[in-house]
């Protein structure tokens, strides 16, 4: 864990997924998932807990950076992800757990919405696609207005 005592910033490296380094980047204003790839043209992205929570819905909603609905992960990789120790990221809107899972089938980024129980396993190509995503790309995933809710009884009709 790297720390900058003066500014209250810490960074906890998780592991690389393909060519992308994954870490938890925490500041006094909250934690973010940091994705970084070096090279001739370095790329970097910071995803907040609400965006990560939205990613757990990527199989059910359109998400342009992935170009399609996220494909289900290899079964062995999904089992490894489910058993991985999760790093918690939280803000006032969302609570998620993230981990990097490894097995014979490869490596992946696992994200679980700890409130709803939804999870997604993203393979290296999908994690790399997140480097090019913009915050506005997450809007369809973050908008929950089309989710089915159990109606509450109207107190005037009870």
Q: What is the SS3 assignment for 76?
A: helix
Write down the pLDDT at residue 155: 64
- Asked if residue 146 belongs to a domain, the reply is no
- Asked if residue 44 belongs to a domain, the reply is yes
User: Partners of 112 in the beta sheet?
Assistant: 97, 119
Tens-place pLDDT, residues 57-93: 887 777 888 876 555 666 777 777 777 789 999 999 9
- Asked if residue 47 belongs to a domain, the reply is yes
Terminal-residue alpha carbon distance, the chain: 55
Write down the pLDDT at residue 3: 55
Write down the pLDDT at residue 149: 56
Write down the pLDDT at residue 103: 78
Write down the pLDDT at residue 7: 75
Instruction: Please state the domain count of the chain.
Output: 1
75: phi then psi, degrees, rounded to nearest 5: -60, -40
- Asked if residue 23 belongs to a domain, the reply is yes
Contact criterion met (CB below 8 Å) for 14 and 98: yes
DSSP 145: T
- Asked if residue 151 belongs to a domain, the reply is no
- Asked if residue 56 belongs to a domain, the reply is yes
The domain of 27 spans: 2-141
pTM, two decimal places: 0.81
- Asked if residue 27 belongs to a domain, the reply is yes
Beta-carbon contacts of residue 1 (< 8 Å; ≥ 6 apart): 10, 11, 12, 13
Which parts of the chain sit beneath pLDDT 70? 1-6, 68-74, 105, 144-158
Write down the pLDDT at residue 40: 86
Write down the pLDDT at residue 54: 92
Beta-carbon contacts of residue 21 (< 8 Å; ≥ 6 apart): 13, 34, 35, 36, 37, 38
Centre a 10 Å sphere on the Cβ of residue 146 and count the other Cβ atoms it contains.
8
- Asked if residue 150 belongs to a domain, the reply is no
- Give dist(CA 21, CA 10) in Å, integer: 16
């Amino acid at each position: 864990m790297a720390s900058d005592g003066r500014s209250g910033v810490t960074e906890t490296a998780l592991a690389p997924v393909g060519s992308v380094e994954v870490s938890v980047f925490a500041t006094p204003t909250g934690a973010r998932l940091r994705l970084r790839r070096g090279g001739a043209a370095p790329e970097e992205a910071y995803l907040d807990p609400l965006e990560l929570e939205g990613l757990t819905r990527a199989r059910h909603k359109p998400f342009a950076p992935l170009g399609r609905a996220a494909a289900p992960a290899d079964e062995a990789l999904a089992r490894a992800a489910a058993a991985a120790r999760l790093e918690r990221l939280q803000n006032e809107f969302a609570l998620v757990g993230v981990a990097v899972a490894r097995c014979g089938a490869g490596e992946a980024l696992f994200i679980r919405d700890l409130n709803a129980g939804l999870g997604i396993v993203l393979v290296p190509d999908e994690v790399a696609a997140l480097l090019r995503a913009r915050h506005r790309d997450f809007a369809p995933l973050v908008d929950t207005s089309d989710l089915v809710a159990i109606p509450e009884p109207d107190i005037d009709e009870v």
